[in-house]
Structure 1
Amino acid sequence: MKKMFRTLVLVIIFTGIWLVLNESMSLSQILTGLFFSAVSLLFTNRMLLENDYRNTYAIKPEVLLHYAMYLFVQIYRSGFSAILKIIKGEDTVKIIEYETCISNDLGICLLANAITLTPGTVTIGKNGRQLQILAFQDENTFTDVAAGKSCSPYEMILRSMDS
């Protein structure tokens, strides 16, 4: 009964996201959202997940809030930095192999998404803890990070998910 209630809540949340993305509250959109939400959850539960959602995707609200605020600031900082680099003609692009200090898969995926959301960088590959990053930055920007000297601030926030 409890699992069915959780599934119903997820279907409603996913349907809400569907409606927002489609910018429509028509009956056909609601039914389509309910259908695809239910099918997606059923497929994910049966074929993709080895554990329960709560165990697999557990994240503390304070960690999520800290991560979201830090990401928001970094998106704007990197955006302005990228604009200045384009104007100055400093548009070197390179692929960086980066090994993260995060151990859980959810944290690594959130880090990869943060890298992609930040202007000037795109995560192009993930193999375990190893990330391939296409970076629109000068050579010196990633020297310390690429050398693996310390965890980035993103990683420090996401590592607190484990504790």
Structure 2
Amino acid sequence: MEHHEGANDKPQNIFLMVVLCVQHGDMWSIGCEVCKCNGKTGQMECFPYPCEQDIACNENERIVFDKPSLNSGKSCCGHCVPVTCRFNHTEYEVGATFRDPAYPCVSYSCELSGLSVTVNTCPNQLTCSEDRRSYDENGCCYTCDTKCKPSPSLIKIQHDLQEHKNCSGMISITKCSGDCQATEV
């Protein structure tokens, strides 16, 4: 059996078989064809499965033809299924928007024409250490916490005196970072 199928064509089946037609009027189906016995000629006459009507799908649907089965009416005549977008093994309906957690600055939208991709840009993105960043709800853009905060710091002090050459040492002090005014402690 060979199965040929175009984008919107009904499936066509080609069967190579010899059938001895005995009883005039006997009917059977083979794939998407209905066959009838012509007892006078001993030949079988086959014609396409009779569909009740042409399938007309809505704008957000497409017609599909499944392989012939026991329920050959549905598969031979086609049926409508919603247009979907597939991303990372998940089906999304038209109109759905979603994000990929691995790429928080990228959003996706399922449209009739396919998957639409939007890359968010972060305006005025300042450079600051990770501990000073506050991210938006998507984890894409951040603002820097610029409040004045004390932080420990090691400072090397070196003093050259005549009697003590290359005298140096490390001291720990508190250093202010962020937008600090001279009066803040």
* TM-score bracket for the superposition, by shorter chain length: under 0.3
Name the structure with the higher strand share.
2
Name the structure with the higher helix share.
1
Higher relative contact order (CA 8 A, sep 6+): 1
